[in-house]
């Protein structure tokens, strides 16, 4: 029986979501070890790959469980007792054709930062930008909307079949003492969100210009390859 699970995790505790040869400290490794410990020896598939230090509140995974695991709420509770830094929100059965990655229609990321120094209890989860211009930031973010070849907004060394992605919404909002940048797209390239956040913040500070952003979006010239810190980034939701 194939099941779909929505999980959250503390990215600061892991070196990323995907399995790696150089370390066992990944979300996938932790989840699969917990599954093996209760007799489920199948690999998991993720709806999105997050980098080291990036968090998730709505990551989706799928995997196969033996049919005797009919009580999926009990399975969720057992896994939550075994795991540290990863939390299963809920598990449900899905059609055998479901694929956490390829069945996804949209993905939503949020980037959270403060203009005051985060406390010691926040610093692993909230980024810090002391200054920015809200109006210019929103103008910059809106330029990312639509279908573009984001070949100049991905981490170097990345190999993909296509760098074309469609961003449906990109905007800034304020919530209490937190500042949030929101992206909703059909998919994202490796480190794309962190590259876009850093570029937009720099445009708002007038360290870069709207014209330079357009040139980089049009693949005419690359002006910045800097990444926003990972601790403010959250994979918030995957829509199917």
- By annotation, the residues acting in catalysis are 51
Look up residue 194 and give its two tokens: 């962190």
Look up residue 60 and give its two tokens: 């989706």
E strand residue ranges, 10-130: 45-46, 55-64, 86-93, 106-114, 127-128
E strand residue ranges, 94-213: 106-114, 127-128, 146-149, 164-175, 178-185
In 3D space, the residue among 189, 211, 185, 187 whose CA is nearest the CA of residue 199 turns out to be: 211
Residue 92: Cβ within 10 Å count = 11
DSSP 16: B
In 3D space, the residue among 236, 214, 227, 238 whose CA is nearest the CA of residue 102 turns out to be: 238
Residues 177 and 142: their CA atoms lie apart, in Å, by 23
Q: Is the four-CA dihedral 46, 11, 110, 199 of positive or negative sign?
A: negative
Q: How far is CA 193 from CA 76, 150, 199, 206, 227, in A?
A: 30, 11, 10, 20, 9
């Amino acid at each position: 029986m194939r099941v779909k699970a929505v999980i959250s995790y503390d990215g600061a505790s892991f070196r990323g979501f995907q399995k790696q040869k150089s370390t066992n400290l990944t979300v996938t490794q932790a989840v699969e070890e917990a599954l093996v410990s209760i007799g489920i020896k199948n690999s998991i598939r993720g709806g999105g790959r997050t980098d080291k230090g990036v968090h998730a509140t709505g990551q989706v995974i799928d995997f196969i469980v033996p049919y005797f695991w009919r009580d999926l709420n009990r399975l969720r509770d057992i896994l939550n007792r075994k795991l540290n830094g990863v939390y299963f929100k809920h598990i449900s059965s899905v059609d055998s054709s479901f694929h956490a990655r390829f069945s996804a229609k949209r993905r939503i990321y949020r980037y959270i930062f403060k203009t005051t120094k985060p406390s010691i209890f926040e610093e692993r989860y909230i980024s810090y930008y002391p200054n920015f211009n809200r109006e210019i930031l929103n103008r910059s973010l809106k330029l990312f909307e639509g279908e573009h070849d984001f070949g100049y907004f991905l981490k170097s060394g990345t190999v993909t079949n296509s760098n074309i992605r469609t961003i449906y919404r990109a905007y800034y909002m304020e919530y209490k003492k937190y500042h949030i940048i929101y992206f909703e797209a059909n998919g994202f390239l490796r480190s794309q969100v962190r590259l876009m956040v850093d570029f937009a913040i720099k445009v708002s500070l007038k360290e870069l210009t709207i014209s330079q952003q357009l040139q980089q979006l049009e693949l005419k010239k690359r002006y910045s390859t800097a990444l926003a810190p990972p601790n403010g980034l959250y994979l918030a939701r995957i829509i199917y």
